[in-house]
Chain A
Amino acid sequence: QKEVEQDPGPLSVPEGAIVSLNCTYSNSAFQYFMWYRQYSRKGPELLMYTYSSGNKEDGRFTAQVDKSSKYISLFIRDSQPSDSATYLCAMSGQGAQKLVFGQGTRLTINP
């Protein structure tokens, strides 16, 4: 079993839709949670960063962490074609040597 599981998709939705991207994890020590966005053939860039449980909002993006369920989500409101990319979750915690990445979900927003 992988430490972090992420549905690879692909996920295709119409412009303006609300998108929900999710990851589950098995290591209860994880406490730093990140979402990276990667455009095709480019390097990932950090989109959202959350420490421990709770919600964080930045514009059209909301990150949620539910540590009791070992489940994190990224919501995109009013999705735009420019949001079409691969979204990678990543996480780590005390005692971890490194950041652990999910497989990435490929998202397409159709005009």
Chain B
Amino acid sequence: DGGITQSPKYLFRKEGQNVTLSCEQNLNHDAMYWYRQDPGQGLRLIYYSQIVNDFQKGDIAEGYSVSREKKESFPLTVTSAQKNPTAFYLCASSIGGAINEKLFFGSGTQLSVL
């Protein structure tokens, strides 16, 4: 089945620790995205990538880092600089990255602080 796989489903971070969220897609999509979802708020864009080895900051990139070494993979690292990391993180992809394209989402990772 084609789709987007996020892992782990739940993740706990200790203070001062960096953690990495995994996102893999087998849809052969060029564009991939990371969103953060907080209760009662919409999805906020953290980073996006339209091509391998290139990515752009979204609205809330501070405290996060990404890489795009392979077309299928777009991992997100939540660094210790992110002081309020507790949220539901969603990875998405689209065919080419145009603003009118449908987004396909993974099932999300819930990150909590110990």
- List residues of A whose CB falls within 8 A of some B CB: 4, 6, 8, 32, 34, 36, 41-46, 49, 51, 88, 90, 92-93, 96-104
Contacts and interface: CB of A to CB of B under 8 A. Distances in A.
A102 B42 contact: yes
Interface residues of B, number: 23
Contacts of A43: 4, 6, 90, 92, 105-108
Contacts of B45: 98
19 contacts: A34-B102, A41-B88, A41-B110, A44-B105, A45-B105, A46-B103, A49-B102, A92-B100, A93-B99, A96-B99, A97-B99, A98-B48, A98-B58, A99-B99, A99-B103, A100-B42, A101-B42, A102-B42, A103-B40
A24 B3 CA distance: 32
Nearest to A103: B42
A96 B100 CA distance: 10
B53 interface: no
A97 B106 CA distance: 22
B51 to A, nearest CB: 16
A102 B41 CA distance: 8
B109 to A, nearest CB: 10
Interface in B32-48: 40-45, 48
